[in-house]
Chains A and B, each alone.
Chain A
Amino acid sequence: MKAAALVLGKDLRLLVRTPAVLLILVVFPLLVAALVALALQSDERRPDVAVVNLDTSGRTVAVGESRLSIDDYIARLSEDVDVRRLDAESAASALDAGRVSAVLTIPAGFISDLQAGVRQPALLLDTSRRSPIEADAIVRNLEAAVYRLNQRLAIGYVDQVLRLVDLVVEGGRAGFFGRTGDALGLRRSRALVTGVQERLRAGGQPGAAGELEPLINFIDETQRNLDLAKPAANAIRAPIELRVSESAQGREPLSAFGFAGALLVSLGLAGVLLAAAAISSEREDQVLVRLGRGLISAWALVAEKMVFTALACLVIGLTLLGVVAAFTSLAVGRWPLWLATLVLAGLAFGAFGVLAGALARETRTALLVALMLALPLLALGLLPDATVASAVSQVVPFGPAFDAFQTLLVEPSISGGDMARTLAHLALLAAVFGGGAALVVRRRFAA
C-alpha cells in the first residue's frame, strides 16, 4: 500500500511537471467532447418526450369499431418518439435538466372534449431550452403522430356519421345510452305523413292535408342536406389540435445523448492512453524490472496505475461537466453518482489501458496499441441499439460507462437497482482487466 502510494505520488508529480501532457489532457477531451457532441446532435434521433396525462377520467372514445383511450393514444405516440410518462412536476424538472426534449401535456377532459365535439381538444407541447434543430424535429414528429391519429379518428367519425345519417334517413334499430329501440327514419316518416295527407284529402279535408305540406318539405330538405353530410365532415377534419409553445429562456443547446457520447470518447481515450503511457514509461525507463524485485507487487502497481487514471478521469470528467453545467442548457446534477461513476469508469479505463500498455515494449507502441484497441471499441459503445455492437461493447468498459453516463444525463428518474448494476458491471470489468494486466506486468517484471 505504501509502495503504491509512493509510485502514485511520483506519477502525479511527473504529470504536473509535464505541462504539454496536462494541456493535452484538458484541451483534448474538451475538443473531442465538442466534436462528438456536435456529431451526435442530430435530428435523426428519436427524441425523448415526457408525457403528462392530466385526463384521469379513464374514459374512452369510440373510433369506428374500437374505442380509444389515453393509453392507446400514448402507445401510438411512442411509434414516433420515446415516451416517458411523468407527472407535471417531474416532467418540468426533466425538461429543465435536459433529460427530455419536450413535454407533451394531455389536458384534463381531453377524451370528453373529443367525445362531445363541442370544444376542440388540444395537446400542449413545451419544447423550451432545446436546440432549434431538435425542437423542430420533435414538433415534426408529434405533428406527424397527431396527423395520423386525426386521420384514424376522422375515418372512425365519418363511418359513425354515415351510419347515423343512414339511420336518420332510412330508420332501423339504434342504441342510445344502453337502450335500444326502433328509429323511424326520414323516408318512413315521409311515407307516413304523405299517407296521412292522402287519407285526409280522400276524407274531404283538403285544408288539413295542405297543413302537412310544410312538414313534408322539411323532411325532404333534411334528407337532401344529410345526403351531403358536410357539417360532420368539416367538424372531424382535425379533431385534435397541437399547440406548440417555446419558453424564452435557454442557452447554448446540447443534447444529453450527444454529451454522454462526448464524455465517453474523451474520458475513454484520455484514460486508456494515460494508463498505457504510465505503465510503458516504467518499462521504458527500465524501472519495471527494479520495481519487480519485491519493491512493489504487480497487482499493487496495476492498481496504482488504475487509481492514477481514475483520478485523472475524475478531474477531466468534473471539468467537462462543470463547463457543460456553466455554459450550456444541460443541467447536470446528481453529483454523488457522478463521482462514483467517474471513479469506476476511470478504474476500468485504467485497467484496460495498463493491459494494452503492458503488452507493448515501449511507450509509442503502447500508445498506438491502446489507440487501435480503444477507438473501434469506443465506436461500438456509441451504438447501443445494434445488438452485436452492444454485446461487444459490454465486455469492455466503454459500453457500461456509456450506459452510466446516459442514465445520469438522460433518464428523468433513476432506478437504484439498474444504476447499481451498471456500476457493478464497471467494477467487475475493472477487476477483470486489472487482473489480466497484473499477469502481464508480472511477466514484464522478469523481462
Chain B
Amino acid sequence: MLVARGLGRRYRGVVALEDVDAQLYAGESVALIGPNGAGKTTLLAILAGVTRATTGSIAWADEAAPRIGWVPQRPALYQRLTPRENLRLFAGLEGAADADALAEELIGRADLGEFADRPAGKLSTGTVQRLNLAIALAGRPSVLLLDEPTATLSPDQRHRLWEWLGALREEGMALLFATQSVDEAMRRGDRMLVLTAGRLLFSGTSEEMVRAHGIGPGADAEAAEMAFMRLVAPAEGAA
C-alpha cells in the first residue's frame, strides 16, 4: 500500500532522518518506536505530507495515492470551537459532500455526543484526543498516521482510544503509530520499526527483535524491553 525508500531529512545541516525504508499494508498496525529525538515525528510528518523529505521517495502500491489521516501529538484543532463545529469545518475542508452528516457520524464514532457543543478547550485530554482522531478521519483515510496518540492519556482513556483504533483497523485501515512504550508497540502493533538518532535500526515483529538479541524464544514485555534497550543503546551512545 505504502512503500517509502531511503527517506532522509536534514534541518540546517542537522540529520533528523537518514535513509529510512518503511512499508505499510492495508489493515496492518505498525508501531514506530524510539526514544525522544529518534526521528519518529519527522518520519510521520514526511509520510503525512507535512514535511518534505530531503532524500528518498514514497510510492504507493495502488495506482492512486491513499488518503492519509494524520493525528499529530498535540491536538490540531480549534480550541474555541466545539467538537461539532470543528468536525463540520474539517469535513468541509476535506471536501465532504455533506459535512454536517459526516460530522454527526464522527461524533457518534468518537463517542463525543455528550461534549459535542462545548468548546474543545474545556474538554478533558482524552476527549480532545478522540476529537483529534475524529478530525483526522474526516478525510475518510485508508492510512492513519498517529504521533504518540496515547502519550498524555490515562489508562482508561488509552484503552478506549485503542478500542476505537482496533475497530478502524478491522475496517481495513492501515495504522502507523509512534510510541515510546515497548509494551504498547508490542500489544498494538503487528510489526515495529525501531528508530534511533534518525536511523532505522530494526523492522519486524517483537518476537524477531527478541530473538535477534538472543534473549529467548518468547517475547513477553520484559524481554522485548530488554531487546529494545540493547538495540538502541549503542546507537544512542554513538549519537
The answer to whether the Cβ of B230 comes within 8 Å of any Cβ in the partner chain is: no
Q: Mark B128-166, 1 if CB is under 8 A from A, else 0.
A: 000000010000000000000000000000000000000
- Given the known interface contacts A3-B93, A14-B80, A18-B80, the answer about A289 and B52 at a Cβ–Cβ threshold of 8 Å is no
- Given the known interface contacts A286-B75, A290-B70, A290-B76, the answer about A295 and B81 at a Cβ–Cβ threshold of 8 Å is no
The answer to whether the Cβ of A208 comes within 8 Å of any Cβ in the partner chain is: no
Contacts of A17 in B (CB 8 A): 80
A310 to B72, CA, bound (A): 33
- How close is B5's CB to chain A, nearest CB, in angstroms? 21
Contacts of B48 in A (CB 8 A): 293
**Contact across chains for B93 and A287 when beta carbons are under 8 A apart:** no
26 contacts between A and B (CB under 8 A): A2-B92, A6-B93, A7-B89, A10-B78, A10-B81, A10-B85, A13-B85, A14-B81, A18-B80, A285-B77, A286-B72, A287-B76, A289-B72, A289-B76, A290-B70, A290-B76, A290-B90, A290-B135, A293-B48, A294-B49, A295-B90, A295-B94, A296-B93, A445-B50, A446-B50, A446-B52
A149 to B193, CA, bound (A): 95
The answer to whether the Cβ of A34 comes within 8 Å of any Cβ in the partner chain is: no
Contacts of B75 in A (CB 8 A): 286
The answer to whether the Cβ of B51 comes within 8 Å of any Cβ in the partner chain is: yes
- The number of residues on chain A lying at the interface, defined by a beta carbon within 8 Å of a beta carbon of chain B, is 22
The answer to whether the Cβ of A253 comes within 8 Å of any Cβ in the partner chain is: no
- How close is A367's CB to chain B, nearest CB, in angstroms? 17
Contact of B50 among A13, A285, A289 (CB under 8 A): A289
The answer to whether the Cβ of A435 comes within 8 Å of any Cβ in the partner chain is: no
- How close is A427's CB to chain B, nearest CB, in angstroms? 28
**Contact across chains for A10 and B89 when beta carbons are under 8 A apart:** yes
Contacts of B50 in A (CB 8 A): 289, 292-293, 445-446
Contacts of B94 in A (CB 8 A): 295
Tell me the B27-64 residues at the A interface (CB within 8 Å). 48-52
The answer to whether the Cβ of A233 comes within 8 Å of any Cβ in the partner chain is: no
Contacts of B77 in A (CB 8 A): 285-287
The answer to whether the Cβ of A291 comes within 8 Å of any Cβ in the partner chain is: yes
**Contact across chains for B93 and A285 when beta carbons are under 8 A apart:** no
